[in-house]
């Protein structure tokens, strides 16, 4: 539940967040959970992620004032612990407000295409002239010319494109079902921002940095690229050097088992009632199991498919790396999830509906990373933010 108090190791960090959709907001959400004062700047029409379903039943989806939320679950998932102000950056008065916010902020982040903020008159050079200590971060499909001119700098990019051009699809054989080419760049943006702020506080000089989705995906497959550098060959999707290391069928689903290490393999063999496989020439070492992967996996599958996920866990859990392929309800019910406080509940605006939010995966012994404020309605905190920064209220 909401604590109503912003706490955490970053509570002295103020970020002007001009990002929308998923990649940028994911990164600033990580920072907000750790206490950063994240001010979400939205255009008059709002972040377009507000319009993505599913919605609470009384959501305001057509621009008519209602007691309900003007956003659905997708927006809520990456915008908790933030405050919203609506600014039209095509309007000189609102541009000036943004610049005044930046004068007192530690950082500003955005994820527009390269050159858009410059055309609006609020690019890095303009903002840094008002605040030389500020950190300016971006997430773009192909980066920013300031850090390296890409021939695709002006091209739009979304998750499926980032996964494809960066090599992830060919490395794995298919698209990830989750927006990994948004999530990982957003995470890297948060990391880069913290590094740049540390430098700014040490030197008194700000910095511009960017994360390209293309680059981030390449970083994800760095082991594949390193292997190619040695062999000159692209590893085929699904090729296994570690065996067993994958999913196996059970009577009620699937379970992951990873036992390439010999002590784990020996325990698994004993649990399966196949101790002879510990010394069998086909399976007595990981390299031999890799050469005989079909045989090895067939033996394990023959054992697991006669049992439930929980029965397999009861037999080898804690001794062999393993874990059931959990559904969302199973994840929510797992005692680990409960013990770690990873699922938190919040009230949608209007108080008629509740939502679920994942807690911060970055845990501190002080317990300071938490949900303290529900995701904001569009422009909900405008006057509050202006007053806090000593900016004259708009007419």
Residue partners of 192: CB distance under 8 A and separation at least 6: 137, 209, 211
Residue 277 gets which letter from DSSP?
Answer: G
Burial of 182 (0-12, 13-18, 19+ CB in 10 A): buried
- Of 60, 159, 182, 210, the active-site residue reads 182
Q: Which two tokens stand for residue 147?
A: 């850090």
Nearest to 361 by CA among 140, 34, 25: 34
- Count the neighbouring beta carbons within 10 Å of the beta carbon of residue 386: 17
Active site residue 347: no
Q: How far apart are CA 372 and CA 3, in angstroms?
A: 4
- Count the neighbouring beta carbons within 10 Å of the beta carbon of residue 60: 19
Q: Please, which residues bridge with residue 140 across strands?
A: 212
- Count the neighbouring beta carbons within 10 Å of the beta carbon of residue 48: 12
> Which contiguous run of DSSP H or E holds residue 130?
helix 124-130
Residue 360 gets which letter from DSSP?
Answer: P
Catalytic residues: 182
């Amino acid at each position: 539940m909401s604590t109503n108090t912003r706490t955490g190791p970053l509570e002295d960090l103020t970020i002007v967040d001009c990002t929308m959709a998923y990649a940028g907001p994911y990164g600033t959400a990580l920072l907000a959970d750790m206490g950063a004062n994240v001010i979400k700047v939205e255009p008059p029409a709002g972040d377009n992620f507000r319009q993505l379903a599913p919605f609470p039943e009384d959501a305001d989806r057509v621009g008519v004032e209602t007691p309900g939320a003007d956003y659905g679950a997708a927006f809520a998932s990456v915008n908790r612990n933030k405050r919203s102000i609506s600014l039209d950056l095509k309007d000189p008065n609102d541009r000036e407000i943004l610049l005044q916010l930046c004068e007192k902020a530690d950082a500003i982040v955005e994820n527009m295409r390269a050159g858009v903020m410059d055309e609006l008159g609020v690019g890095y050079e303009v903002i840094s002239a008002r605040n030389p200590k500020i950190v300016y971060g971006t997430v773009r499909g192909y980066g920013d010319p300031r850090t390296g001119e890409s021939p695709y700098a002006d091209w739009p990019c979304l998750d499926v494109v980032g996964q494809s051009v960066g090599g992830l699809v060919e490395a794995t054989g298919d698209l990830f079902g989750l927006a990994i080419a948004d999530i990982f760049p957003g995470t890297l943006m948060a990391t880069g921002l913290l590094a740049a702020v540390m430098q700014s506080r040490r030197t008194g000089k700000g910095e511009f940095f960017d994360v390209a989705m293309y680059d981030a995906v390449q970083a994800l497959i760095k082991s594949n690229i390193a292997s190619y550098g040695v062999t000159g060959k692209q590893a085929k999707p699904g090729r296994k050097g570690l065996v067993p290391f994958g999913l196996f069928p059970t009577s009620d689903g699937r379970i992951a088992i990873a036992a390439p290490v010999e002590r784990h393999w020996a325990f698994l063999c004993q649990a399966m009632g196949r101790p002879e496989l510990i010394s069998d020439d086909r399976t007595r070492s990981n390299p031999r199991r890799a050469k005989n992967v079909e045989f090895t996996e067939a033996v394990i599958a023959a054992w697991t498919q006669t049992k439930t996920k929980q029965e397999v866990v009861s037999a080898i859990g804690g001794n062999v790396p393993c874990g059931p392929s959990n559904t969302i309800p199973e994840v929510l019910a797992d005692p680990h999830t409960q013990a770690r406080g990873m699922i938190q509940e919040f009230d949608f605006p209007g108080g008629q509906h509740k939502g679920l939010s994942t807690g911060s995966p970055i845990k501190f012994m002080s317990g300071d990373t938490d949900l303290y404020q529900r995701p904001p309605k569009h422009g909900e905190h405008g006057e509050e933010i202006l007053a806090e920064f000593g900016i004259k209220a708009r007419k």
